Amino acid sequence: MKRIAVNTLLVDEFSIHPAVVELQGNRVLSFQPLTEEIAMTEWVGGTLRLKKEGRVYKVSM
């Protein structure tokens, strides 16, 4: 499992600023608002869009 943090996560009609996304391979396991520092989280920044098939795509840096 990999945990990343981004400035913005776009999910359907809403967005989370900033957000933590947990990935298994290229699939999203979970996501949540980033409210505090979480161990073993890689900051990648930018904006990600979560698609219905459970994958995320980088929109901007």
Domain ranges of the chain: 2-60
Percent of the chain with pLDDT over 90: 77
Q: Is residue 58 scored above 80 in pLDDT?
A: yes
Average pLDDT on 16-31 reads 95
Class of domain 2-60: mainly beta
Average pLDDT on 9-32 reads 95
Distance CA 6, CA 19 (A): 5
Looking up tokens 């698609």 gives: 51
Alpha-carbon dihedral sign for residues 48, 26, 30, 2: negative
Exposure b/e, 14-46, CB count within 10 A at least 16 = b: eebeebbbbbeeeebeebeebeeeeeeeeeeee
